[in-house]
Amino acid sequence: MSTLIPATTSSGQQVFILKEGSTQTKGRDAQKNNIFAAKLMAEIVKTSLGPRGMDKMLVDSMGDVTITNDGATILKEIDVQHPAAKMLVEISKTTDNEVGDGTTSAVVLAGALLANAEDLINKDVHPTIIVDGYAKAADKALAILKDMAVAVEAGDRKTLERIAATSMQTKLISDIGKELATVVVDGMLLVAEKKDDGTSKVDLDNIKVEKKAGGSSSDTRLIKGIVLDKEVVHPAMPKRIEEAKIALVLSPLEIEKTEFSAEIRINTPKQMQSYLDEENSMLRSMVDKIESSGANVLICQKGIDDVAQSLLARKGILTVRRAKESDMTRLSKATGARTVTNLDDLSVKDLGYAKLVEERKIEQDRWVFIEGCRNPKAVTILVRGGSQRVVDEAERSLHDAIMVVKDVLEEPAVVAGGGAPEAEVASRLRDYATKLSGREQLAVLKYADALESIPLTLAENAGMDIIDVQVDLRAKHAQGKKWFGVNARTGKVADMMDEQVVEPLAVKEEIIRAATEASNMVLRVDDVLASGKSSAPPMPPGGPGGYGGMGA
Ligand code: ADP
Ligand code: MG
């Protein structure tokens, strides 16, 4: 299998192409080794697919523990060495970035595609033919998905909530998935910008997720405004202001120190006093400008001098300093305030509105809540939960839910979940395959089998009998019942649209694209050249043959 590099020319001369210590794996060995590694990755995440999937406990080199069920997170946290396995980690990352959900499915599908390709390679089908067949099957699969998808009307809250709930059902926080789905959809509809064609655009920067361990997960809620992890700057300031008029200031309320060193000669106490008076009057005039604008809340991105602080306190202006730049932008979108750099420009027109600004104690910290904004274009979801681990996982689940709602707002079409679309596409691909010639047909059939591994894995994870499920599913789809899939919660094969398990079309499309791309990339490789430093991936004991296939 692995050989050192000195190659010999036809005339018997030795040529060294690679550095000493490099290894080369060629042909079938290379393919089998890569396929094996990729299948292994799929095997790791497979058991976490779906609502009955198991969680993984990941321990990093520092001993930190993460408990998750999120495919992308699992693959991100484990330190993968093998180049082919790394490719699968890549697709889970791409899927996560593109659509935010479906990462486990993409890896499971890629693993199944490769396992099935291996069967064909063993039967002497050339990888190029498999690659072509897979590409054709993927194109056809995408067309079938588009054809079967159901359009979502603008403002169809129910569907959006089902989408969010389905994505969260598969996570640790599934018990409160329904409540959280409402939180997510409320927030997303506020920040979505409607376009003329009925779709919306969502900038995820406008939906801020703040987390704090403590309380219970059901305390997680939407704040129509922004939460700042900062306290009110002066103890004598009010901690609660209703009907807040908010000034957002980007410049410091301090006397700026000069860049170059200057010398100020003071000879008498009187001079000293007048110098200080001068400083104080500059600060006073700054505070006066804020007061005369009518603001009763000031959020400043920079520092605030002690003297200015006590002046502001005396005037009863609730002040926060050193707010993050990103929060200033969000505050502006949420409250409708215009950020001001030069205090001379500050006027009543620039002020934003919030029904309530209040400093609250959140566990050991004090945070300032700016809430009850009118028609806010930026909002916050405050995630609570019994422990840091719970809020971390809740945050990941919310991320998925936010992403799937975004997917549907941007591409308003959905399919059922529970492996129904995969089973339907598989069934139609089998019909399509009969129209193809010879070996390509074999590849398309294998592609269909691989797709079926999604409902079957869901069934397996739910402890169902996968042979029964397979037979049942095939029969239903042959009768044209296109939304029949596996309800992992009830352990039955059922119409998943009726069961309200709904997913974005965009996610299913991305799964097909990402998995096909990854498996084809692995299949095209027939030569692995590894330089000496990162030693070549070791072959598993017993060789690749000793490993069971994936899925169906
Ligand atoms: P992924 O990372 O691929 O999103 P998940 O663990 O979130 O992995 O599982 C997603 C799969 O679970 C999808 O195929 C989805 O349709 C399915 N699913 C969600 N809810 C149910 C349910 N109640 N019954 C069966 N399958 C479900
Ligand atoms: Mg998911």
CA distances, 48 to each of 42, 486, 538, 551 (Å): 10, 15, 26, 14
Cα 423 to ligand 2 centroid, rounded to whole Å: 18
Mean predicted confidence (pLDDT) in 136-157 = 91
Is 495 known to be catalytic?
Answer: no
CA dist 424 and 433 (Å) reads: 14
Kindly report, residue by residue over 349-388, the tens digit of the pLDDT. 999 999 999 999 988 899 999 999 988 888 999 998 888 8
| Closest-approaching ligand to the CA atom of 510 | 1
The alpha carbon of residue 174 and the mean position of all alpha carbons in its chain are separated, in whole angstroms, by: 17
For residue 238, give the amino acid letter: P
Among residues 96, 305, 400, 472, the one annotated as catalytic is 400
Residue 1 in tokens = 């299998």
Determine the pLDDT at residue 249.
95
Measured by CA distance, the residue closest to atom 9 of ligand 1 is 50
Measured by CA distance, the residue closest to atom 12 of ligand 1 is 50
SS (H, E, C) 17-69: CCCCCCEEEEHHHHHHHHHHHHHHHHHHHHCCCCCCCCCEEEECCCCCEEEEC
Tell me the longest C-alpha to C-alpha distance in the chain: 103
Hey, how many other C-beta atoms are within 10 angstroms of the C-beta on 535? 13
Measured by CA distance, the residue closest to atom 16 of ligand 1 is 417
Q: Is the pLDDT of residue 550 over 90?
A: no
The alpha carbon of residue 89 and the mean position of all alpha carbons in its chain are separated, in whole angstroms, by: 14
Place of tokens 């000793």: 546
Kindly report, residue by residue over 95-146, the tens digit of the pLDDT. 888 888 888 999 999 999 999 999 999 988 888 999 999 999 999 999 999 9
For residue 116, give the amino acid letter: N
170 sits in which H/E element:
none
Q: Do 280 and 307 form a contact (C-beta atoms < 8 A)?
A: yes
Hey, how many other C-beta atoms are within 10 angstroms of the C-beta on 474? 16
Cα 49 to ligand 1 centroid, rounded to whole Å: 6
CA dist 79 and 98 (Å) reads: 23
Residue 154 in tokens = 């603008």
CA dist 98 and 316 (Å) reads: 47
Place of tokens 């103890």: 235
CA distances, 427 to each of 78, 130, 196, 436, 512 (Å): 35, 19, 37, 15, 15
Cα 60 to ligand 1 centroid, rounded to whole Å: 27
Residue of 73, 170, 425 to mutate, ligand 1, most atoms within 8 A of C-beta: 170
Among residues 23, 104, 166, 335, the one annotated as catalytic is 104
Ligand 1 atom closest to Cα of residue 169: 20
CA dist 304 and 319 (Å) reads: 9
By C-alpha distance, which of 41, 67, 65 is closest to 56?
67
| Exposure on the CB side of residue 294, measured as CA atoms within 13 A | 11
The alpha carbon of residue 214 and the mean position of all alpha carbons in its chain are separated, in whole angstroms, by: 24
Res. 454 pLDDT band, cuts 50 70 90? very high
Is beta strand 14-15 parallel, antiparallel or unpaired with respect to 297-300?
Answer: unpaired
Q: Terminus-to-terminus CA distance in the chain, angstroms? A: 30
Q: Do 293 and 351 form a contact (C-beta atoms < 8 A)?
A: yes
Positive or negative CA dihedral for 457, 123, 548, 512?
A: negative
Cα 400 to ligand 2 centroid, rounded to whole Å: 7
Res. 543 pLDDT band, cuts 50 70 90? very low
Kindly report, residue by residue over 396-439, the tens digit of the pLDDT. 888 889 999 999 999 999 999 999 999 999 999 999 999 988 88
Among residues 25, 47, 70, 327, the one annotated as catalytic is 70
Give bridge partners of residue 84 from the DSSP assignment. none
| Closest-approaching ligand to the CA atom of 106 | 1
Kindly report, residue by residue over 284-334, the tens digit of the pLDDT. 999 999 999 999 999 999 999 999 999 999 999 999 999 999 999 999 999
Among residues 47, 68, 103, 166, the one annotated as catalytic is 103
- The values of phi and psi at residue 7, to 5°, are -95, 155
The burial of 480, by beta-carbon neighbours within 10 Å (0-12 exposed, 13-18 middle, 19 or more buried), is given as exposed
Measured by CA distance, the residue closest to atom 10 of ligand 1 is 50
Ligand 1 atom closest to Cα of residue 486: 25
Res. 14 pLDDT band, cuts 50 70 90? low
Is 104 known to be catalytic?
Answer: yes
pLDDT more than 70, % of the chain: 89
CA distances, 75 to each of 96, 104, 107, 148 (Å): 11, 9, 10, 31
Is 70 known to be catalytic?
Answer: yes
Cα 317 to ligand 2 centroid, rounded to whole Å: 46
Cα 96 to ligand 1 centroid, rounded to whole Å: 15
Ligand 1 interacting residues, C-beta cut-off 6 A: 48-51, 53, 71, 101-105, 166, 169-170, 417-419, 454, 458, 486-489, 501, 503
Ligand 1 atom closest to Cα of residue 489: 23
Place of tokens 């054709």: 136
Kindly report, residue by residue over 328-355, the tens digit of the pLDDT. 999 999 999 999 999 999 999 999 999 9
The burial of 189, by beta-carbon neighbours within 10 Å (0-12 exposed, 13-18 middle, 19 or more buried), is given as middle
Mean predicted confidence (pLDDT) in 11-31 = 69
| Closest-approaching ligand to the CA atom of 69 | 1
Q: Do 191 and 203 form a contact (C-beta atoms < 8 A)?
A: yes
Ligand 1 atom closest to Cα of residue 416: 16
3 state SS of 539 = coil
pTM of the predicted model as reported, rounded to 2 decimal places:
0.80
Ligand 1 atom closest to Cα of residue 69: 6
CA dist 334 and 370 (Å) reads: 9
Cα 472 to ligand 2 centroid, rounded to whole Å: 25
**Averaged pLDDT score across all residues of the chain:** 86
| Closest-approaching ligand to the CA atom of 75 | 1
Is 327 known to be catalytic?
Answer: no
Cα 438 to ligand 1 centroid, rounded to whole Å: 35
Ligand 1 atom closest to Cα of residue 48: 6
